[in-house]
Every structure is written in C-alpha cells, then in structure tokens.
Homo-oligomer: A and B are copies of this chain.
Amino acid sequence: MDEIDELLSIRAAELYYEENKTQDEIGQALRLTRWKVGRLLAQAKQRGFIRIEILHPRARRLPIERRLRDERGLADAIVVSTAGVTSPEELQARTAQAAADYLTALRPVPRTLGVSWGRTLFEISQHLRQGWATGVNVVQINGGVSLNRRPGTAAATAVGIAQKGGGSATLLPSPAILERLETKEAIESDRVVAGVIELARSADAYLFSAGAADHSSVHVESGYLSAPDVDLLVQKGAVGDVVGRYIDSDGNIVDPALDARTVGLTLDELRKAHLAIAVISGPGKLAVADAVVRSSLCSVLVTDEATALHLLGG
C-alpha cells in the first residue's frame, strides 16, 4: 500500500470509528466508492492501525487464551486484561476474581477440591461469592497451618472457600516443611494426617498458585525457610515453588532432600490430576509460570496478559 492509501485508510478509520459514519458516507466525503472504503478499513485493521481495547476489570483476552491452549498444550487458559491496571494489587485482584469466576462456572462441579494456600489463594477465597457452589468440600493439599505469622490465613482460605461453597473444609494439620526427615515421616504416618492426604489425592480438582523464589516468599515470611536457604535454592536453579516444593525452570525438584521433608501432595500426583488449576500472575512470577506450564504441572492456567505473552513469546 502506498502512502496515499495509508493516509486514506486513516481518514476513513477516523470517520468510521470516531464519527460513526457509514462506509457509504465516508466514500462520498473522500470521493471513493464504498467498497474501496471497506477495503481501506480492512487494511487499517490488518496493519494494526486500529486498536480495540476492552476496559474492564473483568475483561479477558480470548485470543491469547486460545494461543496458550494451542501452543502450550493447556486444557484451558484464562487471561485477564491488564488494560488500565495501575497497581500490582489491582492485577492480583483481577486475577483472583478471574479464578473465582472460573471456579464458579466450572462444570461438572467438583465434589472435592484440593487447595494450597498463600496470598493468591486467600484472595481467591475472598472474591468467591456466597453460594458459588452447593456442597463443595475443600481439602488442603499441602501443610502450613501452624507456623504462619498472620495466623489463620491458610485455614481461613480453605474454610472460606468451603463455607461459601456450601461444604466443609478439611485442614492438613502439619507444618509445610519439617526440619528432620524422620519427623516428616512420623507426621505423615499419623492416622489423621494420612487420612487428609488420602482425601487430597482423591480430589476431583486442584487449585493452587506458585511462589517466586525470592525473599518475599510466604515460606520465608512464615519461617519455614530462611533468606539464605532461598538464596541457596536459587543458586541451585530454583525459579519458584508449587505447593511448597521448589522447582527449576524445567519443573524438576531442585533439592530432593528438602522436598522429602515437605508435607503434602507431590508434584507428580498433581501432574496426574484430571483438573489442576494454577493461578499465577505478576511480573515476579514469569519464570515459575513458565516452569509450571512447561512441565505440565497444571491443566488450566489463570494468569494476566503480560505473563501470558511472556509464556508465548519465549
């Protein structure tokens, strides 16, 4: 297209989209036939001169979702729009809302839902509506109730999701990571704990997030790991954690010894699940998000536009 046509297509686009004239009227104004106008508009679109944005906190990006499904082999993907986002909190809220919406619309409704805990999960629980489901029982899939500095967040998450969904919550009464392997094995052989883990294994669906491998991690905040511990993990290639288990960029366990002291479902159990919903968003989690998707830890991903584009761009 030469410059004259390019300019005409811009003039046509202005009249069409900003002044909502018909293509015929534009044709008269610019001394073109209406078919020429239609073609100019089509070219303007195709060449990317026209950008249509949907400005709404609940807006999604369906074309990106499709690409994620097709190119990254996900069963489903939910991508929230970042248009008009001003703060990290807003991004987090939008993603949590989208996850809550996805859960609410999920069919068939899971009878048992396995959940992890953390900031993201807690926010999802808050965005769920009272009565989002009827009779959904919730079970924790990794430990972490007791040592939390902000007590009750882990429990509140599971209980909140269950209560709003008209079911009950089953907590996993165990720390996330234990100091000694023996203690971990002893705890796992406890009848109650073993029962909870068994229940978690039988869940119809899992909902979890992933943490970045840095000092802002809930594991550091909760006291399960120290800042130097995390530095060491990063040195070994860790990009983040999923249900308390640190993985590298290929989704492999970074520190098997540490992993053996971590209570809850294993990553392979997650991988075998029919429905594993990961909710991961924010610029700090690009690497983990990629690792999770690359290693098929989730079948469904809820994320933001920027993260999604990163997953597709690499």
Contacts and interface: CB of A to CB of B under 8 A. Distances in A.
Interface of A: 6-7, 10, 13-15, 17-19, 44, 48-56, 58-63, 83
A50 to B, nearest CB: 6
B59 A10 contact: yes
A62 B15 contact: yes
B17 A52 contact: yes
A60 B10 CA distance: 9
Q: Which among A44, A51, A52, A56 has the highest number of chain B CB atoms within 10 Å?
A: A56
A100 to B, nearest CB: 12
Nearest to A21: B62
A51 B58 contact: no
Contacts of A55: 48-51
A95 to B, nearest CB: 16
Given A52-B50, A52-B52, A61 B18 contact: yes
Contacts of A49: 54-56, 59
A136 to B, nearest CB: 22
B54 A14 contact: yes
Nearest to A52: B17
Contact of A63 (B19, B51, B56, B62): B19
B10 A54 contact: yes
Contact of A54 (B7, B18, B56, B62): B18
A65 to B, nearest CB: 10
Contact of A10 (B13, B15, B51, B58): B58
B54 A53 contact: no
5 contacts: A14-B54, A48-B55, A49-B56, A50-B53, A50-B55
A211 B54 CA distance: 39
B56 A53 contact: no
A266 B62 CA distance: 60
A202 B52 CA distance: 48
Ranked nearest first, the 6 interchain pairs of A and B with the lowest CB-CB distance are A51-B53, A17-B52, A10-B56, A18-B62, A49-B56, A13-B54
Contact of A62 (B7, B19, B50): B19
A132 to B, nearest CB: 14
A44 B44 CA distance: 23
A56 B13 CA distance: 11
Nearest to A50: B54
